[in-house]
Structures are given as C-alpha cells and as structure tokens.
Amino acid sequence: MKPVTHFHPALRLLHWLMAAAILAMLFIGVAMVATVSSLHSLLVAIHKPLGLMILVLVVVRLGLRFSTATPPLPESLPAWQRVAAQASHWALYAMMLAQPLIGWAVLYAILRPLHSLVALVLFATVMLHLAAALRHALVLRDGVFESMSGTRRR
C-alpha cells in the first residue's frame, strides 16, 4: 500500500490549534509571574482553563496519532535528522502531557520549580522545532512542511 503523504486532517487541526495555545500559555505564564497588578488574577484565570484544555486535547491527539497512518520522512533525510525529529516530537508530546499535570498540582513545593523548568525546556524545543520546520518549508522543500500544513506537494 502507498504510504500517506499528509497527517490526518484532525491531527493537523489539533497541531495548529495546540501550537497557538501552547505559545500563548508560555507567554501568559511568564507575564503572570512578572505581574503584581490586578492583571495577575486575570492571567491566572486564563492560564488554568487553557492549560486544562491543552491536557484534554493532547489525550485526544495521542489517541488519533496511534490510530491513523502518518507520513514517513523523506528517504533523502540523513539518519541523525530522522532520529532527532522523532525524539523531539515524542519529547514535545511528553511535555504537552506533563506540563498541565504539574501545573495542576503546583501547590507542592517541588513541583512549582519543575513547572518553570519544563516551561523552559518546552520553549527551547519548540524553537528548534520551528527552525527545522522552516528549513523543510523554505530550503529543502521536501514536502515535510506540507504534511502538516495540508497544502499540496509530494
């Protein structure tokens, strides 16, 4: 059977919706701890429900991920880049799952610093992921970006 060329439409929708939500959460989180004004409670009031939405969505997303066919990376890609892509994708899934759970239990003295640490590692991984995605879209033009954007090629 011919391998699929694109992620399932529901996975693509979830990818972009969650990318926006997670980026917003990172900035809201930082703004939250840097603010003492009345804005603080407003930011907390957004941060908590949005974080829980991310938790629910990642569970749905992982369910779909394991039950649909996913496009293979191009043969032309060096082995180390394939390994790096897979490792970073599973790290992103793990952090999307863990971060809301840690945030929820934030009262515990150990988990509060852990929430900051995971936020930092998540942000760094997202930046690397963004750089790699743009390299595929603009330099390599190998269909990897389109597999998630849903636009044609390949």
Phi, psi of 44 (to 5 degrees): -65, -40
In terms of CB distance, is 1 or 130 closer to ligand HEM?
Answer: 130
Scan for tokens 């066919």, then name that residue.
69
In terms of CB distance, is 1 or 113 closer to ligand HEM?
Answer: 113
In the complex, what is the shortest distance from the CB of residue 154 to ligand HEM, in angstroms, rounded to a whole number?
A: 11
Distance CA 14, CA 99 (A): 17
Counting Cβ atoms within 10 Å, is residue 61 exposed (0-12), middle (13-18) or buried (19+)? buried
Tokens at 25, concatenated: 């959460």
- The footprint of ligand HEM (CB under 6 A) covers 15, 19, 22-23, 25-26, 29-30, 32-33, 47-48, 51-52, 54, 65, 70-71, 73, 85, 89, 92-93, 96, 99-100, 103-104, 106, 115-116, 119, 126, 129-130, 133-134, 144-145, 147-148
In the complex, what is the shortest distance from the CB of residue 140 to ligand HEM, in angstroms, rounded to a whole number?
A: 11
Q: How many CB atoms lie within 10 A of CB 13?
A: 13
Cβ-proximal residue to ligand HEM, closest one: 29
In terms of CB distance, is 126 or 140 closer to ligand HEM?
Answer: 126
In terms of CB distance, is 30 or 140 closer to ligand HEM?
Answer: 30
In this structure, are residues 4 and 69 in contact, taking their beta carbons and an 8 Å threshold?
yes
Listed residue (32, 49, 135) closest to 85, CA to CA: 135
In the complex, what is the shortest distance from the CB of residue 117 to ligand HEM, in angstroms, rounded to a whole number?
A: 9
In the complex, what is the shortest distance from the CB of residue 75 to ligand HEM, in angstroms, rounded to a whole number?
A: 13
In this structure, are residues 123 and 91 in contact, taking their beta carbons and an 8 Å threshold?
no
